[in-house]
């Protein structure tokens, strides 16, 4: 199997600093949060960010969905360093410096667009038991500009070096034109472009940009809730996850040399994936309920593990096994963090 070289994997998204704390139901109710939801912060959430940092055990971790995934892919690959490239926008502030330092520690080749109009984005991860509710204040992440960053020759060269591309659906709210430029490049050069449904609100409120990118998507990721919302928005008229996967696979596609693959995770239930013409179920690794510390980042970790095998050109079964392994590691820890080395054979 080929050893991936530097910049083989390209990711672009919202770099956020995760602020995670254990909260109670009253805290969720106070700010109108649902269990296991992901939302964008609105005006009335401002106080939430001030309150959560006062909690007794607050932790800061480099986050943002796509950045988490490429970081985990890099961790799974180990050597060489900088197989993963990451683009996104941060502020010129302390949180931005933390993100730069964390990316470097994770051996990810991060090239941030830095601006000083907005502070670095944050994501409040409100943990209750084995549930988490995420509130993202994009701030700087929302300021990514195609013409000021992606279009620069030195940056576009890094995009061209890649063979596998991954962008979470969250970035559709920021720069759909950047996503399209990368997706078209992948499609025209028969490379692999992967995308994630990311959250129910993406299919609900950003359906138009999502469906503009869909013809270029070679691998579509999502979880059971996102899959159900996507199916509803597209009028699939089924809530059977295998059927939804099949219908999503058959949506129009530009590069016909590659059949689209759809991969839906379902927490502790089987992962469902289209393998050729069939829909196959892959059981996840067993874990004792008491060992689950924090499910935040499990989906990102699954994608990261999957991508680490994909860049080595492994079969889909292997990619899913790697995804299950990394998700299993991440949920035993707070935040999207990992031990020094993976123990994956």
CA dihedral 233, 171, 177, 121 (to 10 degrees): 140
**Which one of 37, 269, 300, 343 is the catalytic residue?**
300
Cα gap 312→15, rounded to integer Å: 26
Tokens (6 digits) for 272: 């469902």
Distance between CA atoms of 146 and 239, rounded to whole angstroms?
37
CB 172 within 8 A of CB 199: no
Cβ–Cβ < 8 Å for 279, 272: yes
Catalytic site includes residue 300: yes
Q: What's 148's DSSP letter?
A: I
CB 178 within 8 A of CB 12: yes
Q: Nearest 5 degrees, angle CA 63-CA 65-CA 70?
A: 85
Give the C-alpha distances (Å, rounded to integers) separating 131 from 37, 38, 258, 292: 9, 12, 37, 10
Q: How far, in Å, CA of 151 to CA of 222, rounded?
A: 29
What 8-state DSSP symbol labels residue 120? Answer: P
User: What distance in Å separates the CA atoms of residue 209 and residue 143, rounded to the nearest whole number?
Assistant: 17
Burial class (CB in 10 A: 0-12, 13-18, 19+), 130: middle
The β-bridge partners of 21 are 58, 126
Residue numbers annotated as active site: 300
């Amino acid at each position: 199997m080929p050893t991936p070289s530097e910049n083989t994997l390209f990711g672009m998204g919202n770099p956020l600093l995760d602020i995670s704390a254990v909260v109670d139901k009253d805290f969720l109710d106070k700010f109108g949060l649902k269990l296991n939801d992901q939302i964008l912060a609105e005006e009335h959430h401002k106080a939430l960010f001030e309150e959560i940092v006062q909690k007794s055990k607050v932790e800061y971790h480099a986050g943002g969905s796509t950045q988490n995934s490429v970081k985990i892919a890099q961790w799974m690959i180990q050597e060489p360093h900088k197989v993963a490239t990451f683009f996104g926008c941060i502020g010129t502030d302390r949180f931005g410096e933390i993100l730069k330092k964390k990316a470097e520690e994770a051996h990810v080749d991060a090239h941030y667009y830095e601006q000083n109009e907005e502070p670095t984005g944050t994501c409040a991860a409100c943990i209750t038991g084995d549930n988490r509710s995420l509130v993202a204040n994009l701030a700087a992440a929302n300021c990514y500009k195609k013409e000021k960053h992606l279009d620069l020759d030195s940056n576009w060269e890094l995009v061209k070096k890649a063979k596998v591309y991954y962008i979470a659906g969250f970035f559709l709210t920021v720069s759909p034109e950047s996503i399209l430029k990368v997706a078209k490049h992948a499609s025209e050069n028969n490379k692999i472009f992967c995308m994630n449904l990311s959250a129910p609100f993406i299919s609900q409120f950003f359906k138009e940009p999502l469906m503009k990118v869909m013809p270029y998507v070679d691998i579509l990721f999502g979880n059971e809730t996102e899959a159900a919302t996507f199916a509803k928005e597209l009028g699939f008229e089924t809530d059977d996850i295998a059927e939804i996967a099949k219908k999503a696979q058959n949506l129009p596609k530009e590069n016909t040399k590659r059949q689209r693959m759809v991969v839906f995770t379902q927490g502790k239930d089987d992962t469902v994936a289209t393998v050729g013409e069939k829909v196959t179920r892959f059981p996840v690794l067993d874990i004792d309920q008491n060992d689950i510390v924090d499910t935040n980042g499990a989906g990102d970790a699954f994608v990261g593990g999957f991508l680490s095998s994909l860049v080595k050109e492994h079969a889909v079964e292997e990619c899913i096994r790697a995804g299950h392994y990394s998700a299993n590691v991440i949920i035993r820890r707070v935040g999207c963090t990992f031990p020094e080395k993976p123990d994956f054979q």
